[in-house]
Structure 1
Amino acid sequence: MEAERKIGVAVDFSGCSKKALQWAVNNVIRKGDHLILITIRPEAYYESGEMQLWETTGSPLIPLSEFSDPAIMKKYGVSPDPETLDIVNCAARQKEIVAVMKIYWGDAREKICEAVDKIPLNCLVIGNRGLGTIKRAILGSVSNYVVNNASCPVTVVKSPHHE
Protein backbone atom coordinates (compact mmCIF):
# COMPACT_ATOMS: atom_id res chain seq x y z
CA MET A 1 0.00 0.00 0.00
CA GLU A 2 1.39 3.39 -1.01
CA ALA A 3 1.58 6.19 1.53
CA GLU A 4 -0.93 8.99 1.01
CA ARG A 5 0.36 11.69 -1.28
CA LYS A 6 -0.07 15.38 -0.58
CA ILE A 7 -0.26 17.30 -3.83
CA GLY A 8 -0.12 21.08 -3.52
CA VAL A 9 -1.48 23.56 -6.03
CA ALA A 10 -0.79 27.28 -5.60
CA VAL A 11 -4.02 29.16 -6.35
CA ASP A 12 -4.85 32.85 -6.55
CA PHE A 13 -8.09 32.28 -8.50
CA SER A 14 -6.61 33.80 -11.68
CA GLY A 15 -6.91 32.12 -15.06
CA CYS A 16 -3.39 30.74 -14.87
CA SER A 17 -3.93 29.22 -11.40
CA LYS A 18 -7.19 27.58 -12.57
CA LYS A 19 -5.28 26.13 -15.52
CA ALA A 20 -2.61 24.78 -13.13
CA LEU A 21 -5.31 23.28 -10.89
CA GLN A 22 -7.04 21.60 -13.83
CA TRP A 23 -3.68 20.31 -15.10
CA ALA A 24 -2.90 18.84 -11.65
CA VAL A 25 -6.31 17.14 -11.49
CA ASN A 26 -5.91 15.69 -15.00
CA ASN A 27 -2.25 14.64 -14.74
CA VAL A 28 -1.12 14.18 -11.14
CA ILE A 29 -4.03 13.56 -8.77
CA ARG A 30 -5.14 9.98 -8.25
CA LYS A 31 -7.53 8.16 -5.97
CA GLY A 32 -6.73 8.61 -2.29
CA ASP A 33 -4.51 11.68 -2.70
CA HIS A 34 -4.81 14.83 -0.64
CA LEU A 35 -5.17 17.93 -2.80
CA ILE A 36 -3.99 20.96 -0.88
CA LEU A 37 -4.77 24.36 -2.33
CA ILE A 38 -2.23 26.93 -1.15
CA THR A 39 -3.36 30.53 -1.34
CA ILE A 40 -1.40 33.58 -0.24
CA ARG A 41 -2.97 36.85 0.85
CA PRO A 42 -0.96 40.08 1.13
CA GLU A 43 0.25 41.08 4.56
CA ALA A 44 -1.92 43.73 6.14
CA TYR A 45 -3.31 44.79 9.45
CA TYR A 46 -6.51 42.92 10.19
CA GLU A 47 -8.63 44.01 13.13
CA SER A 48 -10.61 40.83 13.51
CA GLY A 49 -11.25 37.37 12.20
CA GLU A 50 -9.19 34.31 11.56
CA MET A 51 -6.52 36.30 9.76
CA GLN A 52 -5.21 37.74 13.00
CA LEU A 53 -5.13 34.31 14.66
CA TRP A 54 -3.21 32.59 11.88
CA GLU A 55 -1.06 35.30 10.27
CA THR A 56 2.28 33.76 11.30
CA THR A 57 1.54 30.04 10.85
CA GLY A 58 -1.10 30.14 8.15
CA SER A 59 -4.65 28.95 8.56
CA PRO A 60 -5.52 25.46 9.67
CA LEU A 61 -6.30 23.06 6.82
CA ILE A 62 -9.77 24.14 5.69
CA PRO A 63 -11.95 21.27 4.38
CA LEU A 64 -13.71 21.56 1.01
CA SER A 65 -17.14 21.91 2.64
CA GLU A 66 -15.90 25.01 4.48
CA PHE A 67 -13.91 26.66 1.70
CA SER A 68 -16.98 26.27 -0.51
CA ASP A 69 -18.95 28.41 2.00
CA PRO A 70 -18.61 32.17 1.24
CA ALA A 71 -19.50 33.15 4.83
CA ILE A 72 -16.66 31.08 6.28
CA MET A 73 -14.15 32.22 3.66
CA LYS A 74 -15.02 35.89 4.27
CA LYS A 75 -13.52 35.48 7.75
CA TYR A 76 -10.22 34.62 6.07
CA GLY A 77 -10.46 37.40 3.50
CA VAL A 78 -10.55 34.91 0.63
CA SER A 79 -13.25 34.35 -1.93
CA PRO A 80 -12.75 31.32 -4.18
CA ASP A 81 -14.40 31.70 -7.58
CA PRO A 82 -17.08 29.25 -8.80
CA GLU A 83 -14.84 27.76 -11.50
CA THR A 84 -12.10 26.83 -9.00
CA LEU A 85 -14.69 25.35 -6.63
CA ASP A 86 -16.22 23.36 -9.49
CA ILE A 87 -12.83 21.89 -10.49
CA VAL A 88 -12.10 20.86 -6.88
CA ASN A 89 -15.60 19.48 -6.18
CA CYS A 90 -15.55 17.39 -9.38
CA ALA A 91 -12.09 16.06 -8.58
CA ALA A 92 -13.07 15.20 -5.01
CA ARG A 93 -16.11 13.27 -6.22
CA GLN A 94 -14.69 11.58 -9.29
CA LYS A 95 -11.21 10.75 -8.03
CA GLU A 96 -12.19 10.15 -4.39
CA ILE A 97 -9.64 12.55 -2.95
CA VAL A 98 -9.53 14.77 0.11
CA ALA A 99 -9.35 18.47 -0.80
CA VAL A 100 -8.34 21.16 1.68
CA MET A 101 -7.14 24.75 1.53
CA LYS A 102 -4.36 26.43 3.49
CA ILE A 103 -4.10 30.21 3.55
CA TYR A 104 -0.93 32.14 4.30
CA TRP A 105 -0.36 35.87 4.66
CA GLY A 106 2.81 37.51 3.34
CA ASP A 107 5.21 37.20 0.41
CA ALA A 108 3.94 34.56 -2.01
CA ARG A 109 7.40 33.23 -2.88
CA GLU A 110 8.44 32.64 0.73
CA LYS A 111 5.06 31.38 1.93
CA ILE A 112 4.68 28.82 -0.86
CA CYS A 113 8.13 27.41 -0.04
CA GLU A 114 7.20 27.44 3.66
CA ALA A 115 4.01 25.46 2.85
CA VAL A 116 6.04 22.83 0.97
CA ASP A 117 8.10 22.18 4.11
CA LYS A 118 5.47 22.62 6.84
CA ILE A 119 2.59 20.59 5.39
CA PRO A 120 4.80 18.76 3.89
CA LEU A 121 3.98 18.36 0.19
CA ASN A 122 5.11 15.53 -2.10
CA CYS A 123 4.95 17.87 -5.09
CA LEU A 124 3.62 21.29 -6.07
CA VAL A 125 1.91 22.59 -9.20
CA ILE A 126 2.00 26.33 -9.84
CA GLY A 127 0.78 28.52 -12.68
CA ASN A 128 2.86 31.05 -14.56
CA ARG A 129 1.39 34.39 -15.56
CA GLY A 130 3.72 34.69 -18.54
CA LEU A 131 5.22 38.04 -17.62
CA GLY A 132 7.56 39.54 -20.18
CA THR A 133 11.27 39.87 -19.44
CA ILE A 134 11.04 43.45 -18.17
CA LYS A 135 8.02 42.88 -15.90
CA ARG A 136 9.58 39.68 -14.55
CA ALA A 137 12.82 41.56 -13.77
CA ILE A 138 10.92 44.28 -11.89
CA LEU A 139 8.23 42.19 -10.18
CA GLY A 140 10.15 38.95 -9.82
CA SER A 141 8.70 35.61 -10.81
CA VAL A 142 6.99 33.66 -8.04
CA SER A 143 7.14 30.44 -10.03
CA ASN A 144 10.86 30.89 -10.80
CA TYR A 145 11.65 31.51 -7.11
CA VAL A 146 9.61 28.48 -6.01
CA VAL A 147 11.23 26.18 -8.62
CA ASN A 148 14.67 27.19 -7.34
CA ASN A 149 13.91 27.12 -3.61
CA ALA A 150 11.20 24.53 -2.87
CA SER A 151 12.27 21.24 -1.34
CA CYS A 152 9.91 19.12 -3.47
CA PRO A 153 9.37 18.67 -7.21
CA VAL A 154 7.58 21.68 -8.76
CA THR A 155 5.67 21.70 -12.02
CA VAL A 156 5.03 25.07 -13.66
CA VAL A 157 1.97 25.19 -15.91
CA LYS A 158 2.44 28.00 -18.39
CA SER A 159 -0.46 30.16 -19.41
CA PRO A 160 -0.72 30.66 -23.18
CA HIS A 161 -2.19 34.16 -22.83
CA HIS A 162 -0.93 37.18 -20.94
CA GLU A 163 -3.39 38.15 -18.22
Structure 2
Amino acid sequence: MASGDSQRNVLIPIDASPNCLRAFEWYNTQLKKKNDLVFFVHVIEPVYTTPAVGLAMESPPLLVDDMTRVMEESISSGKKLGHKYMQMAKDVGLDCKAFLHVDTKPGNAIVKSASDHKADFIVIGSRGLGAIKRTFLGSVSDYIVHNANVPVAIVPPSEK
Protein backbone atom coordinates (compact mmCIF):
# COMPACT_ATOMS: atom_id res chain seq x y z
CA MET A 1 0.00 0.00 0.00
CA ALA A 2 1.38 3.44 -0.87
CA SER A 3 1.91 5.82 2.02
CA GLY A 4 -1.02 7.96 0.83
CA ASP A 5 -3.28 4.92 1.19
CA SER A 6 -2.27 3.97 4.74
CA GLN A 7 -4.96 3.62 7.36
CA ARG A 8 -5.52 6.49 9.77
CA ASN A 9 -7.33 5.98 13.05
CA VAL A 10 -9.72 8.86 13.67
CA LEU A 11 -11.48 9.38 17.01
CA ILE A 12 -14.76 11.30 16.97
CA PRO A 13 -16.46 11.78 20.35
CA ILE A 14 -20.24 11.72 19.93
CA ASP A 15 -23.30 12.91 21.77
CA ALA A 16 -26.80 13.89 20.69
CA SER A 17 -25.94 17.54 19.99
CA PRO A 18 -26.07 19.25 16.60
CA ASN A 19 -22.44 20.34 17.17
CA CYS A 20 -21.35 16.72 17.24
CA LEU A 21 -23.17 16.01 13.98
CA ARG A 22 -21.53 19.11 12.51
CA ALA A 23 -18.09 17.78 13.54
CA PHE A 24 -18.76 14.46 11.79
CA GLU A 25 -20.00 16.23 8.66
CA TRP A 26 -16.93 18.48 8.67
CA TYR A 27 -14.64 15.48 9.00
CA ASN A 28 -16.51 13.75 6.17
CA THR A 29 -16.16 16.69 3.77
CA GLN A 30 -12.76 18.06 4.80
CA LEU A 31 -10.52 15.30 6.20
CA LYS A 32 -11.89 11.90 5.26
CA LYS A 33 -9.68 9.48 3.36
CA LYS A 34 -10.95 6.19 1.98
CA ASN A 35 -8.86 3.99 4.30
CA ASP A 36 -9.69 5.81 7.53
CA LEU A 37 -10.95 3.79 10.48
CA VAL A 38 -13.27 5.95 12.57
CA PHE A 39 -13.79 5.30 16.27
CA PHE A 40 -16.95 6.90 17.64
CA VAL A 41 -16.79 7.31 21.41
CA HIS A 42 -19.72 8.27 23.61
CA VAL A 43 -19.01 9.05 27.27
CA ILE A 44 -21.75 8.58 29.83
CA GLU A 45 -21.31 10.42 33.10
CA PRO A 46 -22.49 8.21 35.98
CA VAL A 47 -25.34 9.35 38.16
CA TYR A 48 -24.27 10.03 41.72
CA THR A 49 -25.95 11.46 44.74
CA THR A 50 -24.54 13.19 47.77
CA PRO A 51 -24.87 11.54 51.19
CA ALA A 52 -27.22 14.35 52.24
CA VAL A 53 -29.67 13.39 49.52
CA GLY A 54 -29.42 9.72 50.46
CA LEU A 55 -30.07 10.51 54.11
CA ALA A 56 -33.04 12.69 53.26
CA MET A 57 -34.71 9.83 51.40
CA GLU A 58 -37.05 7.58 53.35
CA SER A 59 -36.19 4.65 51.15
CA PRO A 60 -32.56 4.67 49.91
CA PRO A 61 -33.09 1.49 47.83
CA LEU A 62 -35.46 3.49 45.63
CA LEU A 63 -32.67 5.96 45.06
CA VAL A 64 -30.35 3.14 44.01
CA ASP A 65 -33.08 1.73 41.76
CA ASP A 66 -33.60 5.15 40.20
CA MET A 67 -29.87 5.57 39.63
CA THR A 68 -29.69 2.12 38.04
CA ARG A 69 -32.64 2.90 35.78
CA VAL A 70 -31.11 6.22 34.69
CA MET A 71 -27.79 4.51 33.90
CA GLU A 72 -29.54 1.75 31.95
CA GLU A 73 -31.44 4.39 29.95
CA SER A 74 -28.21 6.31 29.32
CA ILE A 75 -26.46 3.17 28.10
CA SER A 76 -29.40 2.28 25.85
CA SER A 77 -29.46 5.82 24.40
CA GLY A 78 -25.69 5.71 23.95
CA LYS A 79 -25.91 2.44 22.02
CA LYS A 80 -28.60 3.88 19.74
CA LEU A 81 -26.44 6.94 19.16
CA GLY A 82 -23.45 4.77 18.32
CA HIS A 83 -25.52 2.76 15.83
CA LYS A 84 -26.80 5.99 14.24
CA TYR A 85 -23.28 7.34 13.71
CA MET A 86 -22.00 3.99 12.49
CA GLN A 87 -24.76 3.88 9.89
CA MET A 88 -23.97 7.44 8.75
CA ALA A 89 -20.30 6.49 8.44
CA LYS A 90 -21.07 3.33 6.50
CA ASP A 91 -23.38 5.33 4.20
CA VAL A 92 -20.36 7.43 3.13
CA GLY A 93 -18.08 4.41 2.79
CA LEU A 94 -16.21 4.58 6.09
CA ASP A 95 -15.01 1.68 8.20
CA CYS A 96 -15.97 2.41 11.80
CA LYS A 97 -16.48 1.15 15.33
CA ALA A 98 -18.39 2.65 18.26
CA PHE A 99 -17.66 2.51 21.98
CA LEU A 100 -19.36 3.61 25.19
CA HIS A 101 -17.40 4.71 28.24
CA VAL A 102 -18.76 5.51 31.68
CA ASP A 103 -16.59 8.12 33.35
CA THR A 104 -17.00 11.13 35.63
CA LYS A 105 -14.52 13.05 33.46
CA PRO A 106 -15.49 12.94 29.77
CA GLY A 107 -12.33 14.72 28.60
CA ASN A 108 -10.12 12.22 30.37
CA ALA A 109 -12.11 9.29 28.94
CA ILE A 110 -11.76 10.67 25.41
CA VAL A 111 -8.01 11.23 25.75
CA LYS A 112 -7.60 7.70 27.13
CA SER A 113 -9.73 6.28 24.32
CA ALA A 114 -7.59 8.10 21.73
CA SER A 115 -4.52 6.46 23.24
CA ASP A 116 -6.17 3.01 23.52
CA HIS A 117 -7.27 3.08 19.87
CA LYS A 118 -4.00 4.60 18.65
CA ALA A 119 -5.84 7.56 17.14
CA ASP A 120 -3.91 9.66 14.66
CA PHE A 121 -6.16 12.63 15.41
CA ILE A 122 -9.40 13.64 17.14
CA VAL A 123 -12.30 15.60 15.64
CA ILE A 124 -14.69 17.09 18.19
CA GLY A 125 -17.56 19.54 18.08
CA SER A 126 -17.47 22.55 20.37
CA ARG A 127 -20.47 23.21 22.59
CA GLY A 128 -20.01 26.91 21.99
CA LEU A 129 -20.05 27.88 25.65
CA GLY A 130 -19.44 31.51 26.48
CA ALA A 131 -16.43 32.46 28.58
CA ILE A 132 -18.38 32.49 31.87
CA LYS A 133 -20.07 29.11 31.36
CA ARG A 134 -16.80 27.60 30.16
CA THR A 135 -15.09 28.83 33.34
CA PHE A 136 -17.67 27.21 35.61
CA LEU A 137 -18.60 24.12 33.60
CA GLY A 138 -15.23 23.42 32.05
CA SER A 139 -14.66 22.59 28.45
CA VAL A 140 -14.22 19.02 27.28
CA SER A 141 -12.62 20.19 24.03
CA ASP A 142 -10.22 22.45 25.94
CA TYR A 143 -9.19 19.52 28.15
CA ILE A 144 -8.62 17.32 25.10
CA VAL A 145 -6.51 19.95 23.31
CA HIS A 146 -4.25 20.28 26.34
CA ASN A 147 -3.98 16.58 27.21
CA ALA A 148 -4.16 14.55 23.99
CA ASN A 149 -0.94 13.41 22.37
CA VAL A 150 -2.39 13.74 18.86
CA PRO A 151 -3.72 16.66 16.80
CA VAL A 152 -7.23 17.81 17.69
CA ALA A 153 -9.66 19.54 15.32
CA ILE A 154 -12.39 21.47 17.13
CA VAL A 155 -15.36 22.22 14.91
CA PRO A 156 -17.23 25.33 16.09
CA PRO A 157 -21.02 25.53 16.22
CA SER A 158 -22.72 26.86 13.12
CA GLU A 159 -23.42 30.55 12.93
CA LYS A 160 -26.94 31.34 14.05
Normalising TM by the smaller chain, what interval? 0.7 to 0.9
**In the alignment, what sits opposite 2:44?**
41
Letter in 1 for 2:36: D
Instruction: For structure 1, list consecutive stretches of 5 or more residues without a partner in the other structure.
Output: 53-72
2:108 paired with 1:110? yes
**In the alignment, what sits opposite 2:122?**
124
Cα 1:104–1:25 change in 2 (3 A) is same
Could you give the per-residue CA deviations for residues 3-55 of structure 1, whole angstroms, max 9, x where no partner exists? 3211111111211111001111111222121111111001248769xx89xxx
Secondary structure in 2 matching 1:151: coil
Secondary structure in 2 matching 1:129: coil
**In the alignment, what sits opposite 2:60?**
none
1-structure distance, mates of 2:27, 2:116: 21
Shift in Å, 1:81: 5.0
Secondary structure in 1 matching 2:92: helix
Larger Rg: 2
Identity %: 25
Cα 1:6–1:35 change in 2 (3 A) is same
Secondary structure in 1 matching 2:99: strand
Give the alignment's Cα RMSD to 1 decimal: 2.9
1-structure distance, mates of 2:40, 2:18: 15
Letter in 2 for 1:78: G
**Moved beyond 6 Å, runs of 4+:** none
Normalized per residue, which structure has more helix? 2
With the length of structure 2 as denominator, give the TM-score of the two structures: 0.73
Do the aligned partners of 2:15 and 2:81 also contact (CA within 8 Å) in 1?
no
Shift in Å, 1:121: 0.4
* Number of equivalenced pairs: 137
Do the aligned partners of 2:79 and 2:100 also contact (CA within 8 Å) in 1?
no
Instruction: For structure 2, list consecutive stretches of 5 or more residues without a partner in the other structure.
Output: 49-66
1-structure distance, mates of 2:86, 2:140: 23
Secondary structure in 1 matching 2:128: coil
